[in-house]
């Protein structure tokens, strides 16, 4: 994927940044795609020149910084890191990560099993690669090994940009050297949200909406199993990615008449569906915390969410939580939430605090720091001195009033 470079404003007008993205970003949407494109647009509004590309051999001579995306998609991200080093460019990495069960990914049996599993997936990707450039990137990851690539990404990026303090703390525990983290909270298109909220109010909110592409981590199958026979209308919004079409087929096969599959639909129409729904359920095994959850909250839905630290950090007591991988817990949470109104102040809090303009301002700060560090250190690798702890900063939260 390649994009034009543009600039406006003055705040970051002296910077040119290369967004090193996954190859299928433009034709395989998801929360990460929204985050990438919305961040780029918000940065351009404050004067940063952004070029979006999946070309891991691109000439980076004209860029001040390289923005990497995804800690664990090493078959693409690692090749971008190597290219940034070739041109001696500073890097920041949006990790988009949280481990299963909230446990740091450290040495042990599961550590080795996960590494083996990911290397096997990369062998499958190599057979399915559509061009020589893609094959080269995957071969590079396979030769070094998923685990080694991941560790190098984690410990070599000038600044890590997790989406929460909880994610930053996990990253600091996984790294064997000191790392620098600047949390950048997720955000939503507040203009689009307010526009939809200004439309005619639905006479009555009904049913459940579940937004997200189909894959085992998103766990739609568990929601179907939990609510089958409950006589509650559930609408799934999202499609299956290439490697998860079989999972999507299992969901369709198990679902009864109360389950509806809307596929991938326009973002504004997603907001309208949420505006009309009684409840938004996110059955995921884990989240970071999920853009769809923020949109649902802004649209006034009651929320049922997985109980994991990044999600609680964002939503606090304003959601009903369930224990991931526990079908009974999920069903109980849904039934309980159907009888509760959405917290009155939640929508306005989300619309006020979680904006792309705020995310862009913090991201620009990270670029300037990474560039300054490289100039003073020559090497991209961060020095020791942080004691293995992440240096965390988030925008100051407003205190509740009234």
State the DSSP string of 311-363.
HHHHHTTSSEEE-TT-HHHHHHHHHHHHTSPPPTTHHHHHHHH-BHHHHHHHH
Domain shared by 85 and 106, yes or no: yes
Residue 399 has pLDDT above 50, yes or no: no
Pair (174, 239) in one structural domain: no
Q: What pLDDT is attached to residue 400?
A: 38
Q: Which pLDDT does position 182 carry in this prediction? A: 97
Q: Is the pLDDT of residue 95 over 50?
A: yes
Considering the chain, what percentage of its residues have pLDDT values greater than 70? 89
Number of structural domains the chain divides into: 2
CA–CA distance, 228 with 330 (Å, rounded to integer) = 12
Residues 257-288 have pLDDT tens digits of 999 999 999 999 999 999 999 999 999 988 88
Residue 399 lies in a domain: no
pLDDT reported for residue 113: 79
29: confidence class by pLDDT, cuts 50, 70, 90: confident
Binning pLDDT at 50, 70 and 90, where does residue 141 land? confident
Same domain, 74 and 134: yes
Q: Please check whether residue 284 lies inside any domain of the structure.
A: yes
pLDDT at position 114, please?
79
Same domain, 372 and 347: no
pLDDT of 324: 86
Domain annotation covers residue 10: no
**pLDDT recorded at residue 368:** 96
pLDDT for residue 242: 80
Region 229-254: mean pLDDT is: 93
The first and second tokens of residue 54, run together, are 């999946």
Interval 109-129: pLDDT, tens: 566 777 888 888 888 888 888
Lowest mean pLDDT segment, chosen from 183-192, 196-205, 307-316, 356-365: 196-205
What are the C-alpha distances in Å from 107 to residues 51, 110, 174, 292, 388?
Answer: 37, 8, 9, 33, 16
pTM summary value: 0.86
User: Does 395 or 265 have the greater pLDDT score?
Assistant: 265
> 253 pLDDT exceeds 80?
yes
In a domain? residue 76: yes
Same domain, 123 and 208: no
Residues 310, 162: Cα–Cα separation, whole Å: 10
- Kindly report the average pLDDT of the chain as a whole number: 88
Q: 132 with 171, same domain?
A: yes
Query: Is 1 within a domain?
Result: no
Residue 374 is predicted with a pLDDT of 87
What's the confidence (pLDDT) of residue 293? 96
Task: Give the CATH number of the domain where residue 37 resides.
Answer: 3.40.50.2000
Residues 65, 214, single domain; the answer is: no
- 252 exposure class (CB count in 10 Å sphere: 0-12, 13-18, 19+): middle
- With cut-offs at 50, 70 and 90, classify the pLDDT of residue 10: low
pLDDT in tens, 309-351: 999 999 999 999 999 888 899 999 999 999 888 888 999 999 9
If asked whether residues 272 and 336 sit together in one domain, one would say yes
Percent of the chain with pLDDT over 90: 65
Residues 131 and 194 in one domain: no
Q: In the prediction, which pLDDT does 12 show? A: 65
Report the b/e string of 177-186 with b at 16+ CB within 10 A. Answer: ebbbbbbbbb
Domain end position, chosen among 337, 353, 369: 353
Whether 238 is covered by a domain: the verdict is yes
Give me the domain span that covers residue 303. 190-353
pLDDT at residue 15, as a whole number? 96
Considering the domain boundaries, does residue 102 fall inside one?
yes
Q: Pick the residue with more confidence: 113 or 160?
A: 160
- 229 with 170, same domain: the answer is no
Domain contains 4: no
Beta bridge partners of 94: 69
Q: Are residues 280 and 368 in the same domain?
A: no
**Same structural domain, 320 and 361:** no
């Amino acid at each position: 994927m390649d994009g034009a470079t543009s600039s406006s404003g003055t705040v970051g007008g002296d910077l040119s940044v290369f967004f090193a993205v996954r190859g299928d970003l433009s034709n395989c949407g998801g929360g990460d795609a929204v985050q990438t494109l919305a961040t780029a647009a918000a940065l351009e509004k404050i004067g940063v020149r952004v070029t979006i590309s999946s070309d891991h051999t691109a000439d980076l001579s004209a860029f001040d910084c390289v923005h990497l995306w995804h800690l664990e998609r090493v078959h693409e991200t690692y090749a971008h890191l190597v290219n940034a080093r070739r041109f001696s460019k500073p890097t920041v990495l949006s990790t988009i990560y949280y481990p299963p069960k909230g446990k740091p990914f450290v040495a042990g049996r599961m550590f080795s099993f996960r590494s083996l599993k990911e290397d096997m997936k990369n062998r499958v990707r190599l057979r399915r690669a559509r061009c020589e450039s893609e094959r080269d990137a995957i071969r590079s990851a396979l030769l070094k090994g998923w685990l080694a690539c991941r560790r190098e990404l984690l410990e070599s990026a000038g600044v890590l940009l997790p989406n929460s303090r909880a994610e930053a703390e996990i990253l600091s525990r996984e790294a064997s050297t000191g790392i620098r983290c600047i949390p950048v909270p997720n955000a939503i298109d507040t203009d689009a949200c307010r526009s939809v909220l200004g439309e005619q109010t639905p006479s009555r909110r009904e049913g459940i909406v579940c937004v997200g592409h189909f894959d085992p981590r998103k766990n739609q199958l568990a929601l179907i199993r939990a609510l089958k026979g409950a006589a509650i209308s559930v609408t799934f919004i999202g499609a299956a990615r290439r490697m998860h079409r079989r999972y999507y087929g299992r969901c369709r096969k198990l679902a009864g008449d109360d389950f509806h599959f809307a596929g991938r639909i326009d973002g504004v129409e997603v907001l309208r569906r949420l505006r009309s729904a009684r409840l938004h359920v996110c059955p995921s095994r884990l989240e970071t915390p999920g853009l769809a959850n923020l949109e649902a909250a802004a649209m006034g839905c009651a929320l049922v969410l997985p109980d994991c630290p990044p999600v609680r950090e964002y939503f606090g007591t304003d959601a009903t939580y369930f224990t991931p991988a526990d079908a009974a817990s999920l069903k109980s949470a849904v039934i309980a939430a159907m009888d509760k109104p959405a917290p009155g102040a939640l929508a306005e809090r989300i619309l006020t605090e979680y904006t792309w303009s705020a995310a862009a301002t913090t991201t620009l700060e990270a670029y300037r720091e990474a560039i300054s560090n490289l100039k003073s250190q020559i090497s991209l690798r961060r020095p020791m001195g942080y004691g293995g702890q992440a240096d965390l900063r988030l925008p100051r939260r407003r205190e509740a009033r009234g």
